[in-house]
Amino acid sequence: MGIFKRLSDVVKANINDLISKSENPEKMLNQMLIDMNEHLIESKKGVASSIADEKRLERQMKENLEKAKEWESKAMIALKAGKEDLAKQALLRKQEYANYHNELKPQWEAQHAAVTKLKDSLRVLQQKIEEASRKKNILIARAKRADTTKKIQQTMGNMKNNNAFDVFDRMSEKVDKLESEADALAELEDMSADGDLESQFKALESSDTSADLLLEELKAKMEDGGTNNQ
């Protein structure tokens, strides 16, 4: 189980280091998954080695048991042949292999139990890494949204602190004033144009009236002159 304790310590250390140094959540999460998968590979190698040890113990245990059975069979053959001394020797060899088997059995059982736990832990670890991989994109999207919101709020704060909105409001008032002044000038210009036109017509009318009067005066004068000549 020591390999998983080491893995946990290393992953925690890497996570804390990444969080303290990284300003890019996407890079941090990608690097975390790379590190976790690398340690997962190392853990698999450790579990594979433990499985190999279990199988070696199991094989040795079975071999010694088979040897014990073989020597017991040989002792029976010797006994049937009336060779008790040979049978005793065979039984001693049988007991020797049986003792080896009995010594190896608890070691194998302990190793088997440990390997079972290692397999379970490795399976859980792999599931967690797969889950982290699935969550990565969601976390990255959330981080991007949070970063965008933060930038917007910072921009709004800077504009507020710099009275940027007040400047726009004042500029809007100034533009409104300029537009009103321009409209007023245009209206005055129209009125001036209308006045000139009226004065021109009045002058024309006045000119026509004066000419009529002069013409009438001339006619009257001519009539007076003609009368005097008679």
Q: Is 167 helix (H, G, I), strand (E, B) or coil?
A: helix
> Rounded to an integer, what distance in angstroms lies between the CA atom of residue 112 and that of residue 108?
6
User: Under a CB-based contact definition with an 8 Å cutoff, are residues 93 and 116 in contact?
Assistant: no
User: Under a CB-based contact definition with an 8 Å cutoff, are residues 89 and 45 in contact?
Assistant: no
Domain that holds residue 183: 169-230
pLDDT at 106: 96
pLDDT at 29: 82
Amino acid at 179: E
* Residue 158 shares a structural domain with residue 177: no
pLDDT at 124: 92
> Rounded to an integer, what distance in angstroms lies between the CA atom of residue 63 and that of residue 108?
13
Q: Which residues of the chain have pLDDT under 70?
A: 1-23, 159-168, 189-211, 225-230
* Residue 228 shares a structural domain with residue 173: yes
* Residue 31 shares a structural domain with residue 94: yes
- Answer left, alpha or beta for residue 83, where phi above 0 means left and psi between -120 and 50 means alpha: beta
pLDDT digits (tens, 9 = 90+) for 137-170: 887 888 788 778 888 887 777 766 666 566 667 7
Q: Is 82 helix (H, G, I), strand (E, B) or coil?
A: coil
pTM: 0.53
pLDDT at 1: 47
111, 141, 162: which is the final residue of a domain? 162
* Residue 49 shares a structural domain with residue 107: yes
Kind and range of the H or E element at 83?
A: none
User: Under a CB-based contact definition with an 8 Å cutoff, are residues 64 and 101 in contact?
Assistant: yes
* Residue 135 shares a structural domain with residue 30: yes
User: Under a CB-based contact definition with an 8 Å cutoff, are residues 31 and 18 in contact?
Assistant: yes
pLDDT at 96: 96
Could you give the number of structural domains in the chain?
2
